[in-house]
Structure 1
């Protein structure tokens, strides 16, 4: 199992970090649940491979915007007023590492933050440590959901399904709270 489990985890998280078609949090939670209920996977290695896949995906996403041609950057910035880009550059100058970490932890926040960082030429030397910290926190958070489900059930199948469901529920709740806060701030403005 480990001969296919770790590569599947790494490449699943990598692909899902670049193109959000794979529920990467559910994948990490499921792998952690398997690690808790069987001897086939090790939790520290699950964390390592999940972090590595997420980091490689995030750096790739950033690189597309950062190293892309002028046409690619214009396409990413399409519809944005010049003052918004200036504002984004100033936000990244002040607290870019926080934006990268929060973008990784908030569902659907990672790709826009990384593309914005690349578009405003956020420096690699600041991005890489922020990405590493964000990916470690993200992997631990989703693995904890798998650890919880693995601690509740002895069956790897039930623990894996529960971990995936927990991840999806947590993601849905975070999205609902974010939507509620956005709507509330619009009403108050």
Structure 2
């Protein structure tokens, strides 16, 4: 396990294959929400922070991560829109909807009605908030242009937030792998917190 963590930074950034790997991981994680993309960006930021040119490396990590997240969101929304016109799109749309818990979907639709596309920014920052809001946008038949207008600042804010977590982790530890381990652990903990809280609340309600 320790060896895997130590090797992880070299596989992410920097280097000839580092930034393309970061790009592909974030795009894939945005299209298929099984990859912890926030942890990937935080880990990449730690390595960039310890590089020979930290300012330039961090800027590149930010640009690559934000661009990849935006393209992934765009592709996912486009596939969801195709659900009304093709069988493949329908299955993809239903899969997306199955990923959104009913109560969170209802809340997302209410917030979308109240705040419009600005809710997309918050959805990217709240753990497990992106998919319910995206499904709400699809159900409300939001045009692609409107979705893009809200998703651009959402992806920029998301990339900056998780990069900041990585920078904080990198500044606390002298070795890059230690900062990566701390940053990845923190982002995974943040991502798991809402699910744990809902389970505890359900357990209390069932007693």
In the superposition, the TM-score normalised over structure 2's length comes to 0.73
Q: Is the counterpart of residue 172 in structure 1 residue 185 in structure 2?
A: no
Q: Shift of residue 152 of structure 1?
A: 1.0
Q: Match of 1:143?
A: 163
Matching residue within 1, 6, 13 for 2:26: 13
Secondary structure of 1:169's counterpart equals helix
1:34–1:40 Cα contact (<8 Å) kept: no
CA distance in 1, matches of 2:63, 2:19: 9
Secondary structure of 1:2's counterpart equals coil
Q: Match of 1:61?
A: 76
CA distance in 2, matches of 1:114, 1:25: 18
CA distance in 1, matches of 2:188, 2:147: 28
Q: Shift of residue 115 of structure 1?
A: 2.7
Which consecutive unaligned segments of at least 5 residues does structure 1 have?
79-84
Superposition pairs of residues 22-171 of structure 1, within 5 angstroms: 22-39=35-52, 42-70=57-85, 72-73=89-90, 76=94, 92-171=112-191
Greater RCO between the two (CA within 8 Å, min separation 6)? 1
Q: Shift of residue 54 of structure 1?
A: 0.6
Residues 108 and 44 from structure 1, CA distance in 2 versus in 1: closer, same or farther, beyond 3 angstroms? same
